[in-house]
């Protein structure tokens, strides 16, 4: 079923195609794929897909090629099924080359420190030929030599420099090298990888699969030594010619000749000996990388950056180029001051020049604020991808790059080659043995034919054709569509994306990937793919069906070019701008380009290392201004809120002293009301885009304590604003089990540091002016297409565009009808305490043990303890995650003191550094979209309804919202700017996600303590990408659906019943409506016009302490130090 609308306007390609046309093209394409893939999927592919080891794959393949029958027991098949996806999908072949200098020192690419002498050739004569001569001493050649020598074959290795270090670094998935037995050759391991696709999302998608950098010297030393130990011999020289006779081949090295039964070309992309029957016209993956020493960088040392596709940092000229030929950043973080960075073009024809890659990388590093102090190593990667396979069969054998084993859609190869080595050697060994045991003379041609059939069976040729087809499509995609594709691709399961990136996937597996992508892709992506696939579909169908080597990389198999020549007209741009067969750019290693990267990026230090100036020390008592009211005497919720909002901190500079003054009656492009994190972030992003911004809000400090996931702030480039990072995060769900680690680092934000950073962006732009005040109303100017903003004191301002970033104060915006929000409330204290009972390197995210014993006669809203410890102080907060009424702060304070009393922790009032009252509405009606006044941050409903988080979401979205506003202002239609910005904030997908979160929030609000514990126990047992993505607001609707299904499958009967019953609730109905919103929404709706006086005065809300009086009386529990509770307990 295809949605009846396109996911995004097709401005670049003209009007949207009719829905029927889109369906027809999509269904035709996927139907052809399905028929071909199903018809091609033999039992061989299913069995080999499930094989647990190289030996099983070899046995299964040999059985089909020899006609032997294979009998596998049910137990064997069961085990194979269990491990097939983990093992064989994991053959994600290395992206050659990856990284520069390893974390250890390695300055030159000279000779390998190898103290064992290489055995020189003792055979190779006509009477004593080698069984196998390997030409090339790279990973592929040595991998085959090692395997062949181990089997007892006589092996000779020829290379001009056999002990030269391998110049390229290899990045691999840990599990694939473990399966090959090379897990002892890692230089460094990262626990996971990250992919960033969206411009406004800094955290990206986490690939929960360990990644490693290979120790090149160690791997080469290992293969060399094992080969020598098993009798392999070496010749230093270059092969000039190979002549094939019936029983042997003759290899010329200078004036010498050596005889061998088989000759293997392992010369990589140089392709020196193998023959091709047609032009070799690949795409090229180009990458420039460098190991750099920096002052600091934003990357987690436990994560490598697999792909960062963002491109808005580029200057206009390069951005235009990047829109058509996108590149991504690949990062291996070694230490806090050393990283490997690489700007990569996935595939293009012709390749992107290295000078351009250097310029893109330079601008990317500058945009991230990375100061480069030294460039230690550089790497130039040029990898041919796709193109025709060598002529098959032929007497010269091939392995690795020379045999077309580069993954045509990713550039990975080395693991594929090492995996193929035993299969290749098997065929040679079996052929020699069979002919030795027969009366016939040795026929080398039959052996070489068997080798080619084994390393490129029909199934693998079909797979490669499919991937070449995909490569041609990828080369035609612009940046926007490429981002859409990878955003969709990495929402697939790990099994699917891992399988596609691997060579170990059957035709059925490819079908599953293709169908899954089409199912979850937007209509825009479907259209782009079908449009770009059609020119190559005829050749693909023919080649795939026949499992042949005839895939044509020209559109419509050259038909358009042929017609153009016939009629002497220029009809289309040629798809082959140069002939790589005549000028092979990979024949010789590339060592340099015109631009000197180091000269452009290195910033010399001025004298000694400078202090960063970031104050990350503990919050001191001297930094707190005394407020007029003592918080300890407050009981009314209204007083608590006033207390929290009026707190000031003398270490946070006033806005009036930091920014130029905005005067009454001034006119600005955009007026931002609100000076919290969301308002300051949006103002800074707008100003950096050349917009004049007016900032209006009361002169207040950042008063809330912000706890965030460390990886989120790192991805935003805000790591320097973190006051404290915890090595581990703990939860207590089952009191008997106690603390349990959830394996994600948590951090406490430095309020001063974050505010200074955001204010500094505003100040440095020179385009933000500030006026202290509160916006009272917004109306249209009757004579100009602008808006009049009236402040509470009667002052007026005018602006083309107005956005309200006023937190939970929502007066000026209009909201949809619907049920009221649920609530998260929390009371916290920070106390100076030495020798407290909590480890200072571990945060307690949620302790669900309760302060009071359960009383069957009392209906109790559960709360949990949240702890951020430091060496000599600790922040403690009692939090109600979500409830249908606000739990009074006074009640939360009572629970916290009682809990501490139960733990034997005494609170000295004199040791209290700070008290905090947090009150967050969750969910509720969304703003009306569109309306002329934009909301942002909490005012726009960006609070996570199931967790209460909002700051990260607002900071992530500020950039994309600013882009939308600027784009709209550029049209001169200011309501259009509002429309674009609202669509960015509340896209159809975001509405669907919000409804899902609201569903979860309402579900939790109705749960008892035991039900919440069961929910949390199930939640944290999910795969980490699911629960992390849920808490970080990163899962798309498909991912959320996977999470819901997983919760249902893993959870107990009580949880399943709760999920089912909630579907019929208002939240369930709301979720269904959100899913249908794209079909029901009328995009032609115009912004609201009735803005003359939107603001409505609200009566002060009465305290809800009375709701909990019965509970407090029933508990009869007044903890020591909480004497104020007597006023609550009085009837």
> Treating both helix axes as pointing N-terminal to C-terminal, what angle do 316-324 and 354-367 enclose, rounded to 10 degrees?
120
Alpha carbon 213 to chain centroid distance?
A: 19
Q: How does pLDDT run across 149-192, given as a tens digit for each residue?
A: 999 999 999 999 999 988 877 888 898 889 899 999 999 999 99
Res. 99: pLDDT tops 80? no
> What is the mean pLDDT of the segment spanning 131-145?
95
Distance in angstroms (rounded) separating the CA atoms of residues 632 and 915:
9
Q: Mapped to the 3 state alphabet, what secondary structure does 1005-1053 carry? A: HCCCHHHHHHHHHHHCCCCHHHHHHHHCCCCCHHHHHHHHHHHHHHCCH
What torsion do the CA atoms of 78, 82, 87, 88 make, to the nearest 10 degrees?
60
Q: Which helix (H) or strand (E) holds 205?
A: strand 205-207
Instruction: Average the pLDDT over each of 308-317, 799-808, 881-890, 1025-1034 and give the range with the smallest value.
Output: 881-890
The CA-based angle 378-379-383, given to 5 degrees, is 170
Res. 62: pLDDT tops 60? no
Confidence of residue 507 (pLDDT cuts 50, 70, 90): low
DSSP 937: G
Asked if 1087 and 931 count as a contact pair (C-beta separation under 8 A), the reply is yes
Q: What is the pLDDT of residue 525?
A: 81
- Selected residue with higher pLDDT from 298 and 96: 298
Buried b (16+ CB within 10 A) or exposed e, 867-876: bbbbeebbbb
H helix intervals, 619-718: 637-646, 655-658, 677-688, 710-715
Q: What is the pLDDT of residue 1124?
A: 41
SS3 250: strand
Question: Taken in order 12, 15, 21, 27, is the CA torsion positive or negative?
Answer: positive
Asked if 631 and 643 count as a contact pair (C-beta separation under 8 A), the reply is yes
Q: What is the pLDDT of residue 682?
A: 96
Instruction: Average the pLDDT over each of 292-301, 528-537, 786-795, 837-846 and give the range with the smallest value.
Output: 528-537
- Selected residue with higher pLDDT from 676 and 855: 676
Distance in angstroms (rounded) separating the CA atoms of residues 697 and 712:
27
Distance in angstroms (rounded) separating the CA atoms of residues 342 and 364:
11
> What is the mean pLDDT of the segment spanning 96-117?
55
Tokens read off for 53: 């080891």
Q: How does pLDDT run across 997-1022, given as a tens digit for each residue?
A: 888 888 888 888 888 899 999 999 99
Question: Which distant-in-sequence residues (6+ apart) come within 8 Å of 363 by Cβ?
Answer: 313, 314, 315, 318
Q: What is the pLDDT of residue 36?
A: 41
**Residue 623: how many other CB atoms lie within 10 Å:** 17
Q: What is the pLDDT of residue 1064?
A: 66
Q: How does pLDDT run across 64-88, given as a tens digit for each residue?
A: 333 333 332 223 323 333 333 333 3
Distance in angstroms (rounded) separating the CA atoms of residues 816 and 831:
42
Q: Which of 742-756, 815-829, 1098-1112 has the highest mean pLDDT?
A: 742-756
Mean pLDDT of the chain: 77
SS3 371: coil
Asked if 138 and 266 count as a contact pair (C-beta separation under 8 A), the reply is yes
Q: What is the pLDDT of residue 617?
A: 30
Distance in angstroms (rounded) separating the CA atoms of residues 992 and 1011:
26
Distance in angstroms (rounded) separating the CA atoms of residues 683 and 396:
65
Q: What is the pLDDT of residue 80?
A: 32
Tokens read off for 785: 């297409």
Res. 361: pLDDT tops 90? yes
Tokens read off for 718: 């805000």
Q: How does pLDDT run across 539-580, given as a tens digit for each residue?
A: 788 878 787 877 777 766 554 444 444 444 433 333 333 343
SS3 621: helix
Distance in angstroms (rounded) separating the CA atoms of residues 661 and 769:
5
For residue 775, count CB atoms less than 10 angstroms from its CB and return exposed for 0-12, middle for 13-18, buried for 19 or more: buried
Strand order, beta sheet including 746-749 = 707-709, 746-749, 722-726
Q: How does pLDDT run across 1017-1073, given as a tens digit for each residue?
A: 999 999 989 999 998 888 888 888 888 888 888 888 888 888 887 776 666 776 777
Confidence of residue 803 (pLDDT cuts 50, 70, 90): very high
**Residue 810: how many other CB atoms lie within 10 Å:** 20
Confidence of residue 201 (pLDDT cuts 50, 70, 90): low
Q: What is the pLDDT of residue 1116?
A: 41
Q: Which of 59-68, 372-381, 715-724 has the highest mean pLDDT?
A: 715-724
Res. 957: pLDDT tops 90? yes
Q: How does pLDDT run across 418-439, given as a tens digit for each residue?
A: 989 999 999 999 988 887 777 6
Q: What is the pLDDT of residue 520?
A: 82
> What is the mean pLDDT of the segment spanning 812-841?
88
> What is the mean pLDDT of the segment spanning 296-304?
92
Distance in angstroms (rounded) separating the CA atoms of residues 881 and 780:
41
Res. 1078: pLDDT tops 70? no
Tokens read off for 551: 């895939």
Instruction: Average the pLDDT over each of 23-32, 304-313, 891-900, 1110-1119 and give the range with the smallest value.
Output: 1110-1119
Helix, strand, coil content of the chain in percent (nearest 5): 40, 20, 40
Q: What is the pLDDT of residue 595?
A: 86
Res. 915: pLDDT tops 80? yes
Work out whether strand 842-847 and strand 728-732 pair parallel, antiparallel, or are unpaired: parallel
Q: Mapped to the 3 state alphabet, what secondary structure does 450-497 carry? A: HHHHHHCCHHHHHHHHHHHHHHHHHHHCCHHHHHHHHHHHCCCCHHHH
- Dump the DSSP string for 984-1010: HHT-HHHHHHHHHHHHHHHHHHT--HH
pTM: 0.49
Res. 781: pLDDT tops 60? yes
Phi-psi category of 404—alpha, beta or left, where left has phi over 0 and alpha has psi -120 to 50? left
Q: What is the pLDDT of residue 1056?
A: 84
Res. 960: pLDDT tops 90? yes
Distance in angstroms (rounded) separating the CA atoms of residues 504 and 508:
11
Asked if 887 and 771 count as a contact pair (C-beta separation under 8 A), the reply is no
Distance in angstroms (rounded) separating the CA atoms of residues 1039 and 1041:
5
Q: What is the pLDDT of residue 131?
A: 94
Q: What is the pLDDT of residue 946?
A: 75
Q: What is the pLDDT of residue 586?
A: 66
Q: How does pLDDT run across 217-245, given as a tens digit for each residue?
A: 999 999 999 999 999 999 999 999 999 99
Asked if 62 and 434 count as a contact pair (C-beta separation under 8 A), the reply is no
Question: Which distant-in-sequence residues (6+ apart) come within 8 Å of 320 by Cβ?
Answer: none
Distance in angstroms (rounded) separating the CA atoms of residues 426 and 415:
18
Backbone torsions φ then ψ of 786, nearest 5 degrees: -125, 180
Least Cα distance to 471 among 281, 196, 275, 267 occurs for: 281
Q: Which of 501-510, 957-966, 1086-1095 has the highest mean pLDDT?
A: 957-966
Q: How does pLDDT run across 590-620, given as a tens digit for each residue?
A: 777 788 898 889 887 654 343 333 222 332 2
Work out whether strand 155-159 and strand 130-135 pair parallel, antiparallel, or are unpaired: parallel
Q: Can you list the pairs that 637-641 forms with residues at least 24 positions away whose Cβ atoms lie under 8 Å?
A: 637/886, 637/888, 637/889, 637/890, 637/919, 637/1101, 637/1103, 637/1104, 637/1105, 638/1100, 638/1101, 638/1103, 640/889, 640/917, 640/919, 641/917, 641/919
Backbone torsions φ then ψ of 463, nearest 5 degrees: -60, -45
């Amino acid at each position: 079923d295809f949605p009846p609308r396109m996911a995004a306007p097709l401005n670049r390609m003209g009007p949207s195609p009719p829905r029927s046309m889109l369906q027809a093209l999509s269904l035709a394409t996927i139907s052809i794929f399905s028929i071909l893939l199903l018809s091609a999927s033999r039992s061989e592919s299913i069995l080999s897909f499930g094989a647990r080891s190289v030996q099983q794959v070899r046995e299964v393949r040999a059985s089909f090629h020899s006609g032997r029958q294979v009998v596998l027991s049910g137990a064997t098949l069961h085990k194979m099924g269990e491990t097939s996806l983990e093992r064989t999908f994991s053959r994600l072949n290395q992206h050659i080359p990856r990284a520069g200098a390893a974390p250890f020192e390695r300055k030159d690419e000279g000779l390998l420190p190898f103290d064992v002498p290489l055995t020189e050739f003792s055979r190779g004569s006509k009477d004593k030929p080698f069984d196998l001569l390997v030409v090339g001493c790279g990973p592929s050649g040595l991998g085959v030599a090692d395997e062949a020598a181990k089997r007892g074959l006589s092996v000779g290795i020829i290379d001009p420099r056999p002990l030269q270090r391998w110049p390229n670094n290899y990045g691999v998935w840990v599990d694939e090298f473990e399966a090959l037995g090379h897990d002892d050759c890692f230089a460094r391991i990262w626990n996971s990888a990250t992919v960033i696709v969206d411009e406004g999302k800094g955290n990206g998608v986490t690939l929960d699969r360990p990644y490693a950098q290979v120790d090149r010297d160690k791997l080469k030393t290992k293969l060399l030594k094992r080969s020598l130990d098993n009798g392999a011999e070496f010749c230093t020289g270059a092969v000039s010619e190979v002549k094939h006779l019936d029983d042997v081949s003759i290899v010329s090295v200078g004036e010498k000749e050596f005889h061998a039964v088989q000759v293997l070309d392992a010369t990589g992309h140089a392709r020196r000996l193998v023959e091709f029957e047609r032009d070799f016209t690949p795409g090229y993956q180009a990458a420039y990388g460098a190991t750099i020493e920096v002052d600091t960088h934003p990357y987690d040392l436990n994560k490598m950056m697999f792909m960062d596709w963002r491109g808005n940092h580029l200057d206009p000229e390069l951005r235009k180029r990047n829109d058509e030929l996108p590149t991504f950043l690949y990062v291996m973080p070694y230490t806090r001051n050393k990283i490997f960075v690489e700007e990569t073009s996935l595939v293009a024809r012709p390749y992107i020049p290295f000078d351009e890659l250097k310029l893109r990388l330079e601008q990317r590093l500058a945009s991230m604020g990375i100061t480069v102090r030294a460039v230690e190593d550089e790497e130039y990667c040029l990898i041919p991808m796709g193109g025709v396979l060598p002529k098959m069969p032929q007497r010269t054998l091939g392995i690795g790059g020379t045999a077309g084993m580069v993954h045509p859609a990713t550039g990975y190869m080395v693991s594929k080659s090492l995996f193929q080595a035993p299969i290749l050697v098997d065929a040679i060994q079996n052929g020699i043995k069979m002919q030795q045991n027969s009366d016939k003379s040795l026929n080398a041609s039959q052996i070489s034919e068997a080798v080619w059939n084994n390393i490129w069976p029909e199934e693998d040729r079909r797979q490669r054709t499919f991937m070449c087809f995909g490569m041609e499509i990828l080369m035609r995609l612009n940046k926007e569509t490429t981002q859409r594709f990878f955003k969709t691709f990495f929402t697939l399961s790990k099994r699917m994306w891992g399988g596609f990136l691997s060579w170990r996937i059957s035709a059925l597996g490819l079908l599953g990937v293709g169908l899954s992508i089409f199912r979850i892709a937007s209509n825009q992506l479907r259209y782009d793919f079908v449009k770009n696939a059609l020119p190559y579909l005829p050749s693909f169908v023919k080649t795939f069906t026949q499992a042949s080597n005839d895939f044509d990389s020209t559109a419509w198999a050259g038909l358009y070019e042929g017609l153009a020549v016939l009629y002497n007209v220029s009809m289309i741009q040629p798809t082959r701008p140069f002939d790589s067969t005549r000028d092979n750019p990979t024949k010789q290693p590339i060592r340099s380009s015109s631009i000197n990267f180091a000269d452009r990026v290195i910033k010399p230090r001025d004298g000694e290392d400078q202090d960063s100036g970031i104050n990350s020390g503990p919050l001191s008592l001297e930094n707190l201004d005394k407020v007029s009211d003592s918080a300890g005497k407050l009981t009314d919720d209204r007083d608590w809120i006033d207390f929290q909002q009026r707190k000031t901190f003398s270490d946070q500079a006033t806005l009036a002293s930091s920014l130029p003054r905005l005067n009454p009656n001034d006119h600005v492009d955009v007026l931002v009301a609100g000076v919290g994190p969301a308002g300051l972030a949006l103002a800074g992003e707008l100003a950096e885009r050349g917009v004049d911004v007016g900032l209006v809000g009361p002169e207040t400090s950042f008063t809330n304590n912000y706890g965030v996931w460390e990886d989120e702030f790192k991805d935003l480039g805000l790591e320097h604003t973190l006051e404290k990072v915890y090595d581990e995060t703990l939860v207590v769900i089952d009191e008997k089990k106690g603390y349990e680690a959830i394996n994600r680092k948590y951090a406490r934000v430095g309020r001063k540091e974050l505010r200074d950073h955001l204010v500094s962006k505003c100040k440095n732009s020179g385009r933000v002016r500030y006026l202290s005040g509160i916006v009272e109303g917004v109306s249209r100017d009757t004579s100009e297409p602008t808006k009049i903003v009236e402040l509470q004191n009667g002052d007026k301002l005018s602006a083309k565009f107005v956005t309200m970033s006023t937190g939970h104060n929502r007066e000026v915006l209009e909201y949809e009808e619907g049920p009221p929000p649920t609530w998260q409330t929390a009371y916290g204290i920070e106390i100076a305490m030495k020798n407290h009972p909590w480890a200072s390197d571990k945060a307690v995210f949620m302790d669900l043990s309760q302060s009071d014993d359960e009383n069957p006669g009392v209906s109790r809203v559960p709360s949990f303890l949240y702890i951020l410890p430091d060496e000599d102080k600790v922040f403690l907060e009692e939090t109600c995650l979500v409830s249908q009424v606000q739990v009074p702060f006074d009640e939360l304070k009572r629970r916290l003191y009682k809990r501490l009393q139960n733990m034997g922790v005494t609170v000295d009032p004199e040791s209290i550094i700070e008290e905090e009252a947090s009150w967050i509405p969750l969910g509720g009606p969304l703003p009306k979209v569109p309306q002329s006044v934009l909301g942002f941050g909490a005012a726009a409903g960006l609070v996570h309804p199931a967790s209460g988080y909002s700051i990260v979401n607002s900071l992530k979205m500020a950039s994309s919202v600013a882009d939308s506003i600027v784009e709209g202002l550029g049209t001169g239609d200011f309501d259009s700017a509002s429309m674009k910005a609202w669509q960015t904030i509340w896209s159809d997908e975001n509405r669907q996600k919000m409804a899902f979160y609201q569903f979860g929030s309402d579900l939790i609000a109705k749960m008892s303590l035991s039900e919440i514990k069961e929910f949390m126990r199930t939640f944290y047992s999910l795969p980490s990408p699911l629960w992390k993505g849920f808490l970080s607001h990163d899962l798309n609707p498909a991912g959320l659906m996977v999470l819901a299904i997983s919760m249902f499958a893993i959870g107990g009967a009580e949880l399943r019943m709760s999920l089912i019953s909630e579907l019929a609730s208002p939240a369930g109905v709301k979720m269904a409506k959100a899913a249908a919103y794209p079909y029901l929404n009328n995009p032609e709706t115009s912004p609201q016009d009735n803005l003359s006086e939107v603001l409505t005065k609200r009566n002060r809300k009465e305290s809800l302490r009375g709701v909990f009086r019965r509970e407090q009386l029933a508990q009869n529990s007044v903890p020591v130090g909480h004497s104020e509770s007597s006023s609550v307990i009085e009837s």
